[in-house]
């Protein structure tokens, strides 16, 4: 694929379609939405509104990092604090499908729906890629960015049309376009991270306190395994408890599972053979997080397990 030609073509197509109208997109910090943001900014300039929805489920320092990167690129991004809406939507839920559904609804119906209406935009840009479409058609994965699958007809629901400039590309193509657009490696070379974010790593109810625990454990795992060459690594907070000892006293504490997998495309995966010393260091740091008294390393391949826990 010729990234330069793709950018040229899509820039012209975006200008033709949007005309003198307004477009909007949501930036998550993943490579797909980052490429859409940079491409559309190049094509549409001030006719584009890009929002970064802070949803309470992000990794430590994430909003600041993404806003800094786009600030450095001179691309304006509006930060929308929707943490309360997402936490409210998740309160009391422990079923995985209900949790995922609540996040989708909070995003499309409550938060983003409102933002789009207020913006007056008539075009919504989405970072759907070919793999998303394939997996949806094959019924493999429920994709948060394919609205028809969610039963939403955007034109009648919100009055906007959806444009998907990346729908002919796969991940390697998106990365090539990202590089050609000048997006930094720290953004385009990141390990995969799911749309529902840390909620996929909390078994049971998602609360502020439990998010804080999994966020701290995630930071440890990402620091310790950065550059290890694995496909993906993460920490998950289990719903169970176990007995431990802290400062000579019994503690009935929380359990964190660490997962690190080798994979080509996440359809199948095997546990990475991490050096024992690294695992010991991760375990020591994770059990220093308040309330956590055990750390496990997950050896299960996919299948039968999935990569995420929820």
Residues in contact with ligand XMP by the rule CB under 6 A: 144, 192, 194-196, 200, 232, 266, 302, 306-308
Maximum Cα–Cα distance across the chain = 70
- Helix, coil or strand: residue 299: coil
CB of 86: closest distance to ligand XMP in angstroms? 14
3-state secondary structure 33-89: HHHHHHHHHHHHHHHEEEEEEECCCCCCCHHHHHHHHHHHCCCCCEEEECHHHHHHH
Nearer to ligand XMP by C-beta: 5 or 148? Answer: 148
- Residue 94 gets the label, from left (phi > 0), alpha (psi -120 to 50) or beta, of alpha
CB of 307: closest distance to ligand XMP in angstroms? 4
CB of 137: closest distance to ligand XMP in angstroms? 17
Nearer to ligand XMP by C-beta: 291 or 297? Answer: 297
Nearer to ligand XMP by C-beta: 15 or 170? Answer: 170
CB of 252: closest distance to ligand XMP in angstroms? 29
Secondary structure letter of residue 146 according to DSSP: -
Nearer to ligand XMP by C-beta: 192 or 244? Answer: 192
Q: Burial code of 134-172, b = ≥16 C-beta within 10 A, e = fewer?
A: eebeeeeeebbbbbeeeebebeeebebebbbbbeebeee
CB of 9: closest distance to ligand XMP in angstroms? 26
Nearer to ligand XMP by C-beta: 9 or 265? Answer: 265
CB of 309: closest distance to ligand XMP in angstroms? 8
Task: Name residue 125's beta-bridge partners.
Answer: 25, 163
Nearer to ligand XMP by C-beta: 255 or 307? Answer: 307
């Amino acid at each position: 694929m010729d990234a330069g030609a793709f950018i040229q073509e899509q820039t012209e197509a975006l200008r033709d379609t949007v005309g003198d109208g307004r477009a909007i997109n949501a930036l998550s910090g993943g490579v797909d939405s980052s490429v859409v943001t940079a491409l559309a900014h190049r094509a549409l300039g001030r006719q584009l509104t890009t929002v970064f929805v802070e949803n309470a489920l992000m990794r430590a320092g994430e909003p600041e990092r993404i806003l800094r990167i786009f600030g450095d690129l001179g691309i304006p991004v509006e930060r929308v604090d929707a943490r309360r809406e997402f936490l409210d939507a998740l309160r009391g839920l422990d079923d995985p499908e209900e949790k995922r559904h609540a996040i989708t609804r909070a995003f499309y119906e409550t938060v983003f729906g409102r933002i789009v209406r207020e913006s007056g935009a008539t075009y919504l840009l989405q970072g759907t890629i070919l793999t998303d479409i394939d997996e949806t058609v094959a019924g493999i994965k429920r994709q948060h960015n394919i609205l028809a699958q969610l039963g939403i007809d955007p034109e009648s629901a919100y009055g906007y049309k959806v444009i998907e400039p990346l729908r002919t590309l796969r991940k390697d193509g998106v990365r090539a376009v990202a590089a050609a657009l000048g997006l930094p490696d720290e953004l385009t070379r990141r390990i995969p991270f799911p749309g529902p974010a840390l909620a996929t790593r909390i078994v049971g109810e998602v609360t502020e306190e439990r998010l804080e625990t999994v966020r701290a454990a995630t930071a440890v795992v990402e620091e310790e395994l950065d550059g290890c060459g694995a496909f993906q690594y993460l920490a998950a907070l289990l719903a169970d408890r176990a007995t431990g000892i802290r400062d000579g006293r019994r503690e009935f504490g929380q359990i964190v599972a660490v997962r690190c997998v080798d994979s080509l495309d996440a359809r199948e995966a095997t546990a990475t053979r991490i050096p024992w010393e690294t695992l010991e260091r991760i375990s020591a740091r994770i059990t220093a997080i308040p309330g956590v008294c055990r750390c496990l390393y997950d050896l299960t391949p996919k299948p039968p397990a999935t990569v995420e826990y929820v």
